[in-house]
Structure 1
């Protein structure tokens, strides 16, 4: 038995995937078919068919051991599938699957930062054509946040215009006005951002769209300096570094979600159901507001400065409600 010789060839990934999904059941129904005949039936060249067979040879079930992969036997120019790895019928989408694909592609087409929107739209057109009446189903696709603002910012980015924005910075709990030169729109963690050169900070900054209170498109082009480069956000927006403040908290069972939502440097079991977690924060002001919003199952272990800030603000808040300063709620969030 000899394997087909792989050759280079041009094809789209979508077309090839569709062909591969239908190829195995086609061959199963025609054991010993000549490759030339099969190529004619499938509307491809013999070279393309041999390349597809070569790829199928290394496809199969998870585990991907020899006994899990699609196998075939060759007798001259004839081919027979000897193991199908469960791909024994042509792919047919159910109505729900087809509608899910349409919705997903519509969402991707509207997502900021999509590099090749034209390719997405072409794929969507093909799926909608195949889905028939389902494509017109009354399903509205919306992105998180202010979609009107996203569209406005995306138009400015694509038009190469500078922007004046009023922006709320949560880490410092302040609102500022600044002029930015947009570089790109993108979606990270389900939130829309505009990445831009900030003339005030003289650096590349990432602005969350839902924290932009006002935006004005300026009558001047966006001109970022040569050193302005998009950041690598493959690991998320927040990237902890050793120069950022490290805080340590003792948390109860109800607050363990912190360890999944935030990058923690250390997570240890404490007494009972308690965990002790350490994480980097942008500044202690943000950490103070973060801890105060968590509730009584969180205790600040370190640094002492943060514990004092939390204690002082909790005491002031309770005083505003004429609550005695010795209330257990104050002690619950600090040591």
Structure 2
């Protein structure tokens, strides 16, 4: 696999010191050195001249002159000096880095730890003494996480073996990576799934294997629209529904499993209630019903569920007899 090209932000950050060290360089020469076209470089320079220091008046903005095919820096807006973090800035940055570190798969754990160590070193021994008492268990990076991140950066398709919790099954599929998201302490790969023909979110810790393919990722143009990670229809695809009856002592499952009651509940409600719940597979629905020991009952006809429940009951009875 070829290494990923640098992102635009990385290129922009490197440009000012590059041009400062080469005053009056030809635009064509710079484009060749930086590995971009002259059109892309011109667009980057137009972006740089509207960047600068807080205040963002004309005197605060980076001033790069480029015309007649030559480029020179007139004002670097501080980008020619090493970054000096204040105490509050360093604290905020360290908090953010630790959050990334605690979110499995969101970033290269080794690189994040290295950045944390460098910031703490720059802050001095006093700061390290204050933070030394924090003992947070950091999940170890898995090899598969690195494969996913590399595929996103290099824009290569992936072959995944993935556990779908809603269906309680492991499937194989080819996906076209779009981006990585961190949501509620979990990392998700947002990708176009060729099997389901739609954009899906794949949780890192449920990816069992990942193999980068030689072909480039090619998600449809409209698939790049960000996906809301709390949209369960996107997470699992459109799921079938079942009608169930629930005893009052199990009403908490309405919220936990996002079930929809048939009628609005009141404090005076005394008997069982009926609701609609979505499920991923008959196997999942059978296990769900068994887990409540008769306090949740299936009202609709779902092919395969009664036989699965009967089979589980027979297996349990046989184990007791043994």
| 1:1-335 paired onto structure 2 within 5 Å | 10=54, 105-108=97-100, 111=103, 125=119, 129=123, 131-137=127-133, 139-142=135-138, 147-233=142-228, 235-238=230-233, 244-252=239-247, 255-266=250-261, 268=265, 272=270, 274-282=272-280, 284=282, 286-300=284-298, 302-303=299-300, 305-306=301-302, 309-322=304-317
CA distance in 2, matches of 1:106, 1:152: 22
Partners of 2:161 and 2:172 within 8 A in 1: yes
Listed as ranges, the gaps of 5+ residues in structure 2 are 1-52, 57-86
Aligned mates of 1:240, 1:248 — CA distance in 2:
22
Q: Distance in 2 between matches of 1:244 and 1:138?
A: 43
Q: Contact 1:163/1:218 (CA < 8 Å) preserved in 2? A: yes
Q: Looking at CA atoms only, which structure, 1 or 2, has the larger radius of gyration?
A: 1
Say if 1:102 and 1:128, in contact at 8 Å, map to a contact too. Answer: no
Q: 1:315 to 1:202 in 2, by over 3 A?
A: closer
Residues in 2 aligned to 1:237 and 1:146: alpha-carbon distance in whole angstroms: 27
Aligned 8 A contact 1:166 1:215 in 2 = yes
TM-score (norm 2): 0.52
Residue 232 of structure 1: CA displacement? 2.7
Higher RCO, 1 vs 2 (CA within 8 Å, ≥6 residues apart): 2
Residue deviations 1:197-234 (CA, integer Å, cap 9, x gap): 22333332222323322111223432323232244315
Number of aligned residue pairs: 222
Residue deviations 1:79-111 (CA, integer Å, cap 9, x gap): xxxxxxxxxxxxx99xxxx99995664123564
C-alpha RMSD of the superposition: 4.4
Matched residue SS, 2:224: coil
Judge conservation of contact 2:173–2:194 (CA < 8 Å) in 1: yes
What is the CA–CA distance in structure 2 between the aligned matches of 1:163 and 1:239, rounded to whole Å?
Answer: 19
3-state SS of 1:201 partner: coil
CA distance in 2, matches of 1:275, 1:247: 14
Give the CA deviation at 1:258: 1.6
Using a 3 Å threshold, how does the CA distance of structure 1 residues 287 and 320 change in structure 2: closer, same or farther?
Answer: closer
Structure 1: tracts of 5 or more residues without a match: 1-8, 13-91, 324-335
SS of residue paired to 1:163:
strand
Question: So what's the TM-score if we normalise by structure 1?
Answer: 0.51
Alpha-carbon offset, residue 126 of structure 1:
8.4
8 Å contact 1:245–1:284 — kept in the other structure? no
In 1, are the aligned partners of 2:245 and 2:275 still within 8 Å (CA)?
A: yes
SS in 1 for 2:208: strand
Relative to structure 1, the CA distance from residue 311 to residue 220 in structure 2 (aligned partners, 3 Å threshold; closer, same or farther) is: closer
